[in-house]
Amino acid sequence: MAIAFHTFLLQLLLFFFASFAEANDTRKTYLVQMKVGGHLYGSSSGHQELLGEVLDDDSTVADAFIYSYKESFTGFSASLTQSERQKLMRRREVLEVSRSRNLKLQTTRSWDFMNLTLKAERNPENESDLVVAVIDSGIWPYSELFGSDSPPPLAWENKCENITCNNKIVGARSYYPKKEKYKWVEEKSVIDVTGHGTHVASIVAGRNVEKAGYFGLAEGTMRGGVPNAKIAVYKTCWRVIRKDGRADSVCREDNILKAIDDAIEDKVDIISYSQGFISKLQKDKVSWAFLRALKNGILTSAAAGNYGNYYYTVANGAPWVMTVAASLKDRYLETKLELEGEDKPIIVYDTINTFETQDSFYPLLDEKASAESTRKRELIAQSNGYSILSNYEKDEGKDVFFEFAQINLLDKAIKEREKGAIVLGGRSYDFNESKKLQFPIASIFLDKQKQGKLWEYYNKDQSKERLAKIHKTEEIPREEGWVPTVADLSSRGPNCDSFLANILKPDIAAPGLDIIAGWPENVKLSSDRPSNDYRHLRFNIMSGTSMACPHATGLALYLKSFKRWSPSAIKSALMTTSTEMTDEGYEFAYGSGHLNATKVRDPGLVYETHYQDYIDYMCKLGYNTEKLRSHVGSDKIDCSKTEIDHDADLNYPTMTARVPLPLDTPFKKVFHRTVTNVNDGDFTYLGEINYRGEKDFDEIIVDPPELKFSELGETKTFTVTVTGISKRNWKKNKAFMTRNTWLTWTEKDGSRQVRSPIVIYSINGPKACM
């Protein structure tokens, strides 16, 4: 999920679900979910036979059939008319026929911020045996970031389309969607034409490249979290032009399922997935595919979504997925507009100006006021009733300023070589540290609040020439003691699904703002508007949960290079060793906390959750047996003998429960947990309840309060009982929540701490979530 510095309108990384109007007379791509067992249509040939039985007279299987799935999904995808779809839905072998939905795509300093520095201890031989699957928009294979001196893993079979595999890129495949209602601007190829996939892949496993930076900003050594690891690329996102002329990307669900299918068969070590949408589990076929990946020992790291500071918006919220929120780094980008004669400059955090600070003050030119001026000027641009005025060529250039609605005029300003541009925006263009603007000219963006200072200065004394100087953006360290916080763009929990109401999401937060990483040199830095931006660079700055996700992927791979643990153990280690955070959304914004590599290799204790635990959990919550069988591809599942328990517990590293409305109701919640010792020797851990700020509960009891271990792999079980009254304590949401409260198991000598947030909540959500 990400929002790029390089463009103000490109929403390529924003997560959302795009629904499509059905039309009876056109073919559309559908996913046909089959029942498990009891019929003869379970194979690829069976899928095609079934399809042939329902096709209209003028259709052929060759034209309609798209994919048959083996590992990720029980069924196949096909291009169908409405009548063909209806016929399939009436077949007893078919569970569901649903549209293939369109998903949207959602670092020189960031790894240091997570304490995974250049000096961190590494295991390069083991690292080079690890393969990360990047399911995204392809890759720019010619970047120096994607080279390696070590060969691929011995058991790995290189599979590359359109390009030649090398020691770094050991797999590269693309999944071209059926053309439906877009203008396609790229052919079937793994080459990245948007930059998103290249950026993501380089964050995870790019090799060290010195003297990296972005026009002098954030200079240093660019590297991935695991620079010796290998990359397998699965391209599922494509650049298109919609009917209304807007550039967009298409990431089709059926293609993503096929990519996961291949990744499982390829036996990758981890999946990095920076796409998604808000969806309930019953409709979210991609999340169930990730459970099948987990059954094969593959952890999935996924972006939480860029829906912003709203609750019930988290994507990829299944408990078997590691869901990653986006945080701010310990440095921020600041741009100044200096006004001659004023003591203080106007400072903004929503602009990237890569051009050097202007060498002197330049006259301000308001396009409205200039029309009445007696100065000698020439009309140089006019569009939709708006105009910009400037001097003749012999006169000194100006810093022009105009409303955001007139942004098309910027091309003219660039062409006429104005000195700079001050873009004014209102409420409908609210940009902040999460969403930044930049233009191919010295520039600064002023929102409604900031522009008031400009107008005050401009109108103060019109007998004098008003002069301004636009400064180059600077990277500023945050004050000492700063506590990490979540980006405004990052989606918040809780889960929009009653089956997942007692699972805290997102799981973890990682750097997702102002991330410098690899970029295709054939892709403009500003690929949308203005059209005059022809800048190209090996690196680019992007923001979003799409950038946070590969940081978590990288740290998980780093840990796996030392420990061959299960997916849930690796995920637990990242969560319980995380750093405390602050945010008005509390744990629904950041989960366990901020990734911290310092102690991730020695978490002390882990919460193991196995494949069967997830199946049992869904059965206890009342999930339909037939659907569950189809989701996971097994006819051995039978939930009919399982007693329904809507308070069922999962051995998760966090402890969360939704208590019913209305507020001011007493509650009691008991959590059952089992931890596994991951060290040799005798250890004693003491349980302690900690909280920051106000106490939002009556009592929390840990039983037993002490855990003793004598051998590696030993397990201990305990309970945490929370009692209280759900009094409104969260004014913004008229809700109740136990905030900043956690259980910490501390090893007696203080060397290890295992921290687990405790969240009891009662909150109104959208009716669709209930």
Residues assigned a catalytic role:
136, 196, 546
Show the tokens assigned to 143: 């970047």
Alpha carbon distance 180, 411 (integer Å): 33
Query: Residue 338: enclosing H or E segment and its boundaries?
Result: strand 331-339
Contact 385, 420 (CB under 8 A): no
Alpha carbon distance 627, 631 (integer Å): 6
Residue 182: burial class (beta carbons within 10 Å; 0-12, 13-18, 19+): middle
751 Cβ partners below 8 Å, 6+ apart?
none
Q: List phi, psi (to 5°) of 122.
A: -130, 160
460 Cβ partners below 8 Å, 6+ apart?
none
Amino acid at 106: Q
Amino acid at 310: Y
**Taking Cα atoms as reference points, which of 359, 274, 397 lies closest to residue 15?**
274
Contact 163, 172 (CB under 8 A): yes
Maximum distance among all Cα pairs of the chain, rounded to whole angstroms:
89
DSSP H helices in 240-392: 253-266, 285-295, 367-370
Show the tokens assigned to 191: 């080459």
The DSSP call for residue 437 is B
Contact 571, 544 (CB under 8 A): no
Show the tokens assigned to 239: 């650049």
Alpha carbon distance 181, 334 (integer Å): 42
**Strand, coil or helix: 677:** strand
Show the tokens assigned to 634: 């097994």
Tokens 């890129």 -> residue: 169
Residue 87: burial class (beta carbons within 10 Å; 0-12, 13-18, 19+): middle
**Taking Cα atoms as reference points, which of 14, 5, 231 lies closest to residue 140?**
231
Alpha carbon distance 190, 303 (integer Å): 22
Apex 545 CA angle, 187 and 216, nearest 5 = 85
Q: Which residues pair with 325 in a beta bridge?
A: 509
Amino acid at 291: L
Q: Which residues pair with 446 in a beta bridge?
A: 424
